[in-house]
Amino acid sequence: MASTDDKAKRREQEKLASKAAKPAKKKSELRETIVVVIQALLIALIFRSFAYQPFSIPTASLQPNLMIGDYVLASKFTYGYGRYSLPMGIIPFEGRIFGNEPNRGDIAVFKPVPQDDNYIKRVIGLPGDRIQMKQGRLFINGEMVEREMVERTTDTDSFNTTLPVIKYRETLPNGVSYIVQEISDTAALDNTQEYIVPEGQFFMMGDNRDRSQDSRVLSAVGFVPFDNLVGKAEVRFFSIKDNINPWFVWMWPGNVRWDRMFTSVYD
């Protein structure tokens, strides 16, 4: 039969063993948490790099279709993978893997040749096309694109400047239809030279025709090489007025555009 001293020793040993086990258990839990966080970050990075990447709309160039404060997801796989599809262009390779050329009327994210920032515009001209603006009307390969007046309204840009505009429904030769806005048909980019789109490049334009710096400005955007495409815009997943940061949740009431969330950018 164990003595009182033996029992006391055993209790003391059990206490010491329990104290030693607690730090080990805490270290194990911390390690597991770090592993889970790293795994989640890797999954997010892979998803962003190869599936869908989120982009915010900071300017009025695609209004009313994409408004300032819209957040969209662009699919990476639609056009295949090029240098600029990957984060920060970290792999400097030429060409595209699984490349598919965009269709006329797509809304595409890209990096213009002279710029570092991502741009988002509509694909208007394909390789070999002749593009020109005459008195506010779009001509593709010598043919005037169909345009029908919708309404007179106003448009507010990123500098909070509001001007009257006319909305038109424009229909491209392939049947893609969308709304464009014009302040007038005599603005600086409403009468242009004829642009001949080089092979392997595309001509991009904003839907807000008098408030868009796009391929019509050769020194700033110009023709966009296929390799410079980032992805095809697909869906709005969030929208908030006045470009308010989306994490300012206390400002959501009255500012979030609930009717624009989780809607196609081609509606």
Residue ranges per domain, the chain?
Answer: 17-50, 51-264
Which amino acid appears at position 135 of this protein?
A: Q
DSSP state of 197: P
d(CA 249, CA 256) in angstroms, rounded, equals 9
Which of 49-63, 193-207, 217-231 comes out lowest in average pLDDT? Answer: 49-63
Which pLDDT score is estimated for 206? 97
Tokens matching residue 244: 């308010």
Task: Place 49 in a pLDDT band, splitting at 50, 70 and 90.
Answer: low
- Give 115 or 169, the one with higher predicted confidence: 169
Which pLDDT score is estimated for 198?
98
Q: Rounded distance, CA 71 to CA 51, Å?
A: 16
Which segment of 55-59, 93-97, 117-121, 203-207 scores lowest on mean pLDDT? 93-97
Instruction: Return the pLDDT at 29.
Output: 73
Point out the least confidently predicted range of 27-31, 82-86, 152-156, 202-206.
Answer: 27-31
Q: How far apart, in whole angstroms, are the C-alpha atoms of residue 57 and residue 95?
A: 27
Phi, psi of 39 (to 5 degrees): -60, -40
**Mapping DSSP to helix (H, G, I), strand (E, B) and coil, where does residue 163 land?**
strand
- Give CA 198 to chain center in angstroms: 25
Phi, psi of 3 (to 5 degrees): -75, 170
Q: Is the pLDDT of residue 75 over 80?
A: yes
Q: 85 near 145, Cβ under 8 Å?
A: no
Of the pLDDT bands very low, low, confident and very high (cuts 50, 70, 90), residue 82 is confident
Among the options 76, 111, 121, 232, which is catalytic?
A: 121
pLDDT at residue 91 tops 80: no
pLDDT tops 60 at residue 193: yes
What percent of the chain is predicted at pLDDT more than 70? 82
Structural contact between residues 183 and 207, judged by C-beta atoms closer than 8 angstroms: no
Q: What pLDDT is recorded for position 94?
A: 75
Q: Which of 61, 212, 215, 239 is catalytic?
A: 61
Q: Per DSSP, what are the bridge partners of residue 56?
A: 71
pLDDT reported for residue 31: 76
Q: Is the pLDDT of residue 12 over 70?
A: no
| Whether 61 is catalytic | yes
**Whole-Å CA distances, 101 to 92, 123, 128, 228:** 20, 11, 13, 12
Residue with tokens 């010598």: 142
Is the pLDDT higher at 263 or at 36?
A: 263
- 3-state per-residue secondary structure call for 4-73: HHHHHHHHHHHHHHHHHHHHHHHHHHHHHHHHHHHHHHHHHHHHHHHCEEEEECCCCCCCCCCCCCEEEE
Strand locations in the chain, DSSP E? Answer: 52-56, 70-75, 107-110, 119-125, 130-134, 137-140, 143-144, 146-156, 162-171, 177-182, 195-196, 201-205, 224-225, 229-239, 263-264
Cβ contact 134:191 at 8 Å: yes
Paired sense of beta strands 229-239 and 70-75, if any: antiparallel
Segment 99-138, tens digit of pLDDT: 899 999 999 999 987 677 899 999 999 999 999 999 999 9
User: Which residues fall within 8 angstroms of residue 225, CB to CB, at 6 or more apart?
Assistant: 113, 200, 201
What is the CATH number assigned to the segment(s) 51-264?
Answer: 2.10.109.10
* pLDDT, averaged across the chain: 87
Residue 217, pLDDT > 60, answer: yes
pLDDT of 33 over the 80 cut: no
